[in-house]
Amino acid sequence: MAAKILDGNALAKKIKTEIAAQIKRDNLEVGLAVVLVGNDPASRVYVDHKKKDCDECGIISHEYRLPASATQNQVIELIQALNADSEINGILIQQPFPAHIDVLSVNEAVSPYKDVDAFRTDTVGKIAVGDYGADSTTFLPCTPAGVMELIRSSGTDICGKECVVVGRSNIVGKPMALMLLNESATVTVCHSKTADLGAVTRRADILVSAVGRARLITADMVKPGAVVIDVGMNRDENGKLCGDADTAAVAEVAGFITPVPGGVGPMTRALLMRNTLNAKRHSHE
Ligand code: GUN
């Protein structure tokens, strides 16, 4: 196997250890509200993982479960109560929602000071114009921010590189492309209507796949030595967790690759913890 593995678990652990040390040192009480609407089994697993991360960091996790039949008003009323609650620094509403709930309306209901998922449209706008940096109060979306850290951990300089993002979701693909562009990469975004996906992905020095389809990215679609970041979270025909890439085969060609599980997933959650701590630090401004 040629590719080096980018170990998301190890990198996430390092970030969480730093967060825990800061919270302890400054004697902070940091609270994260996690709201789950309905019974999506994958969402329940994600929410349980987030609780464990909170425990590791010394962040107090407040969980709210609403039935799948909850109305949009009920969800928004809960968010408004959490906006007003001084014990809550960050609010996360786990997606996907039941079909009758409007995603954008729910995202907009979260206070900009507590938008640790960075899903509000004004937050996305700040990311589009590059209004973020070391001392900024802008929250970065957790998965793309985690991907940036993984790319940096490979030692790859993003400036001037050909980056191809496969997937155009509001959660990952779009903000991912913007953040790579802000680092002066040449960015191409592909999606389900892209005519010849392989022809585009083969150009990529850095390939980020966030589609949700097992074995979409095969070895022949990858440039030798490329950094391959696999955001996919799928089940193969045996029910085993896998990403978008045919990992073993792609690893023969790529320079670096993230495993699934143990790559992007833990980094997303570590960056959520970082956003929540930042929300606490800026809560009195
Ligand atoms: N569903 C899949 N990823 C995410 C995420 O990062 N945040 C929320 N709220 N829901 C998700």
What's the pTM? Answer: 0.97
**From atom 1 of ligand 1, which residue's Cα is the shortest distance away?**
95
- Separation CA 163–CA 148 (nearest Å): 12
- Give the per-residue pLDDT at 137: 87
Compute the distance between CA of residue 158 and CA of residue 177 in angstroms, rounded to an integer: 12
131 is catalytic: no
Question: Where on the phi/psi map is residue 75: left (φ > 0), alpha (ψ -120 to 50), or beta?
Answer: alpha
Q: Which residue ranges in the chain fall short of pLDDT 50?
A: none
Tell me what pLDDT residue 87 has.
98
Pocket test for ligand 1, best of 50, 82, 92, 275 (most atoms within 8 A of CB): 92
Query: 169-207 pLDDT, tens per residue?
Result: 999 999 999 999 999 999 999 999 999 999 999 999 999
* Residue carrying the six token digits 């929300």: 279
Q: What share of the chain is helix, strand, coil (3-state, %, to 5)?
A: 40, 15, 45
pLDDT of residue 133: 77
φ, ψ (nearest 5 deg) of residue 109: -75, -20
Q: Is 94 a catalytic residue?
A: yes
CB 226 within 8 A of CB 205: yes
Cβ contacts of 280 within 8 Å, gap of 6 or more: 28, 29, 30, 89
Decide whether any atom of ligand 1 lies within 6 Å of the 123 Cβ: no
Catalytic position from the list 16, 53, 94, 115: 94
Residue 136: predicted pLDDT: 80
